[in-house]
Each structure stands twice: as structure tokens, then as C-alpha cells.
Structure 1
């Protein structure tokens, strides 16, 4: 995510030219990162594991592809939408 995206999330919601609403998934991910950091678990080893996972995703690792397909199928069946704010 770019700095411009983060700035747009922090902009005044009334500023239609700059403001960008954060998706539900992004809010959850950010909350997870804050909780991990608050618990002292967001160390260099954890960040390296995230980088490895990202690399495998970008390289198309078959195991991760299957895991993502399962997660996507579960998301389709849980009855929730991406936008919890109704928009």
C-alpha cells in the first residue's frame, strides 16, 4: 500500500477529492497488525515470515493458491460483504 493511500484514509471524509474509505478487510488487517505489535509479536522474524508469504504468493506457489481458494470459498458462504458500512 502506498503512502498516498494511507493519507487518503486519514483525510477528512467530507473531502471528496482526497478521502478514500478503508475496506473492511483493510480495517481488520490493520487491527491485527496493531494487536500483534501491542503484544510484542511483530518482530523482525514475524515480518520476515510475512515477506516470505508475500513472495510465495507473487510466485504462484500451488499450496498458497489452494489455501486462498479455500478462504475465498469460505468468504462467499459466510454471508458477509466486503463493506460493513452498507456502502
Structure 2
């Protein structure tokens, strides 16, 4: 499975990737500071948005992209590694 994480903290990027990898998920992480996120996302099976750490413009861009391609989106307010683990386990 391939997932994309939008938001989160820069310092936790490696921890997010390792947590996903331990569950068999290939994870791309965008902290929300990148320009044109949707052009870099590819075709993930799931998009997770940490809403507390991403701009409104980035969230809107990602939601429009996911909706146009029928990609499921999980929007979560918290941005910890355990939150990511729980989100991936409930998939």
C-alpha cells in the first residue's frame, strides 16, 4: 500500500516514514511547506492530512486532487507518530 501524509512536523519526518514502513506502507511525507503538492503526490491509495500543521490552501489543493481521483482522505487534527500508526491500522 502507498500513502501520502500532508502536514506534520519536519523533525518527525523520518519517524513517520519508519512507522509506516513497519506496517508495510510506503509513505510520502509533505509537511505543507512545499509548493504544488498535488503535482508531486502521484497516485496513493490513501491520503492522510494532519490539519493542525497544514495551511488552508494546501489542504484545499490536496482535497481537490484526491476527490478528482477517488482517493480516500483521512483528516486528523493531531500530528504525532502514534496518530499516524492508529490511522494506518484502521485502514
Scaled by the length of structure 2, the TM-score of the pair is 0.28
**Which structure's residues are more often helix, by fraction?**
1
Higher relative contact order at CA 8 Å, sep ≥6: structure 1 or structure 2? Answer: 2
Larger Rg: 1
**Which structure's residues are more often strand, by fraction?**
2
